[in-house]
Amino acid sequence: MWYQLVSGRSKLSGHVSISGAKNSALAVLAGSLCSCDDVCIRNVPSLLDVSRMLQVLKSLGAHVRHCGNDIYINSRNVSFPEPCEESIQKIRAGFFVIGPLVARHGEAILALPGGCAIGSRPVDLHLRGLEALGAEVEVRQGKVHAWVGNGGRKLKGGCFCMDFPSVGATETLMMAACLAEGKSVLTNVAREPEVKDLANFLIACGAKIEGAGTSTLVIEGVDKLHGANYTIIPDRIEAGTFLIAAAITRSSLTLSPIISSHLTAVMMKLASVGCKFNQLNANTVQIRSSPAFPALINLEMATGPYPSFPTDLQPQIMSLLATCTGQSVIKETMFEERMGHVEELKKLGAQINISRNTAVIQGTSDLSGTRVKANDLRAGSALILAGMAAEGVSIIEGASHVDRGYERFDEKLRMLGANIERL
């Protein structure tokens, strides 16, 4: 475990390069198992979670070669149905391989997944969806065993309506359905850009998928997928975090590459606290933050599935709102335990009250540096941002969580003028 030492009240300036999307990369890496041919995935961020996902693939027999931010994978020799249990338990996205394994090899045995400690994230939708495609599923002693039912060799196309538009379940079932026999229709699916990115990767490999980015997917199964050369989209969560970093330090920054349409909900909220945006070209945006924000008048917001405000930016924008004059309210609708950062923000002087999944924030400009602890990835970045806005020095314990989801986060902040170092 390492620490971040942050000296607050430094202005930021300059340009920040946004890395490839973590959540896209993890899904596409799992999706590479659907193909028997060579796959090249470009713009993959160098992250702890990516390294863990590659360990999952290697434990299944995939050949993996890393060259900078490009990853070359060949899954021709994958035949073992059970990835390394230790690897799966360290990364929730590792569970996504259940879809390709059952679809291509007829069987998968996986430990229940790990990930951030932000509440219950069950895999029941993944499993019920696989059953709708003809799989038999059994859960015992902390492991899931799924196999093609009725003595068949391949999954069968089917229909499945999700109770909730789960990103992970949508991705798992999309991968499974693209190699099933016949047509599958998945409704009430996730619309996140990362889901569409996975669909585009699978299409590049020969899958027949319609409706990606909408609430209904229609997938015509094919016998096999071929190789592809594919580039991951920019990370909207990293971009949103740097936009909030500019706002909380009352600074101006330029970000690229970004896809502005992926950031609409974030930019609208930042505009409501006085930030201005200038689209310099198709993939570059400039944010200008006022030295003094207007007083907030009962600003209310809620997280939700895309295109609503992303839960992965809730802790960061809470740090910002804690520094804005006036009252604001954030309702967390995605994860029941994603308020762990609140007590740590309060140690810095933030005035926040919680009732169940709702936080009421009374903004103040008087944050003061102290020692705080991050318990998950996004809380880590939120506390770093709060430390940048606070008077004096803050020490963030457990900041190693940030390496799971941000590529060279502290290095990028230093290049922009932040006074931040690892201990």
Q: Which amino acid is at 4?
A: Q
Tell the residue number behind the tokens 């190699």, with chain if given.
179
Number of Cα atoms under 13 Å in the Cβ half of residue 82: 9
Name the token pair of 254.
């330029």
Instruction: Give CA–CA dist 94/73, Å, rounded.
Output: 16
Which one-letter DSSP state was computed for residue 382? H
Cβ atoms within 10 A of the Cβ of 195, count?
Answer: 24
What value does the CA radius of gyration of the chain take, rounded to a whole number of Å? Answer: 22
Question: What contacts 218, CB < 8 A, 6 or more positions away?
Answer: 183, 184, 185, 209, 210, 211
Residue that is written with structure tokens 């209904």 in the block: 216
Let me know if 116 is a catalytic residue: yes
- Report whether 192 contacts 219 (CB < 8 A): no
CA atoms within 13 A on the CB side of 348: 37
d(CA 389, CA 35): 47
Q: Is 204 exposed, middle or buried (0-12, 13-18, 19+ CB in 10 A)?
A: middle
| Half-sphere exposure (Cβ direction) of 184: Cα atoms closer than 13 Å | 31
Which amino acid belongs to residue 6?
V
| Angle, helix 98-105 to helix 22-31, in steps of 10 degrees | 20
Give the start-end residues of each E strand in 105-247: 107-111, 135-140, 143-148, 159-161, 183-187, 208-210, 216-220, 228-231
Catalytic-role residue among 34, 36, 40, 116: 116
Q: How many angstroms separate the CA atoms of 295 and 362, rounded?
A: 11
CB atoms within 10 A of CB 343: 14
Quickly count: other Cβ atoms within 10 Å of residue 124's Cβ: 12
Cα(416)–Cα(255) distance, integer angstroms: 11
Q: Which residues are catalytic?
A: 116
